[in-house]
């Protein structure tokens, strides 16, 4: 079985400052990794995914994430945030050969003007 930990339930950041949202996972097998974003009262949208290849993955809206196998982490970063980035962000992990997606508990990103 796999698990996902998002240690920060809330992250306040000033507008135009950088941000990092942390995600750690545990799994006995190799995994695929995903970040989703949820705007208020909406469903989730895919931000980016790591399937294989380069460990630095670029996504939509200027976000990127780095897969670190030794630290079992997949932290999400953005160099300069905007008010429109206010949302909840979910990390998710799925084992390679079994369809079983597990979500973290989410991190609420609040941008301070």
Partner 1 sequence: DGGITQSPKYLFRKEGQNVTLSCEQNLNHDAMYWYRQDPGQGLRLIYYSQIVNDFQKGDIAEGYSVSREKKESFPLTVTSAQKNPTAFYLCASSISGQSNSPLHFGNGTRLTVT
State which H helix or E strand residue 108 sits in.
strand 107-112
Q: Does 28 bind partner 1 (CB under 8 A)?
A: no
Residue closer to partner 1, measured from CB, 81 or 90? 90
Find the binder of partner 1 among 19, 94, 109, 111 (CB under 8 A): 94
Q: Does 95 bind partner 1 (CB under 8 A)?
A: yes
Q: Does 103 bind partner 1 (CB under 8 A)?
A: yes
Q: Does 7 bind partner 1 (CB under 8 A)?
A: no
Q: Find the binding residues for partner 1 in span 45-74 (CB under 8 A).
A: 45-46, 49, 51
Query: What would the DSSP string read from start to end of 59-90?
Result: -GGG-EEEEETTTTEEEEEESS--GGG-EEEE
Displacement of CA 80 from its chain's centroid (Å): 16
How many C-beta atoms surround the C-beta of residue 59 within 10 A?
17
Residue closer to partner 1, measured from CB, 56 or 101? 101
């Amino acid at each position: 079985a796999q698990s996902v930990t998002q240690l920060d339930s809330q992250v306040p950041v000033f507008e135009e400052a950088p941000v990092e949202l942390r995600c750690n996972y545990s799994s006995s097998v190799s995994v695929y990794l995903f970040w989703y974003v949820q705007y208020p009262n909406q469903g989730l949208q895919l931000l980016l995914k790591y399937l294989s290849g380069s460990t630095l993955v670029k996504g939509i809206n200027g976000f990127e994430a780095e897969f670190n196998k030794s630290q079992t982490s997949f932290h999400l970063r953005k160099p300069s945030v905007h008010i429109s980035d206010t949302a909840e962000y979910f990390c998710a992990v799925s084992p390679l050969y079994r369809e079983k997606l597990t979500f973290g508990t989410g991190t609420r990103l609040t941008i301070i003007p």
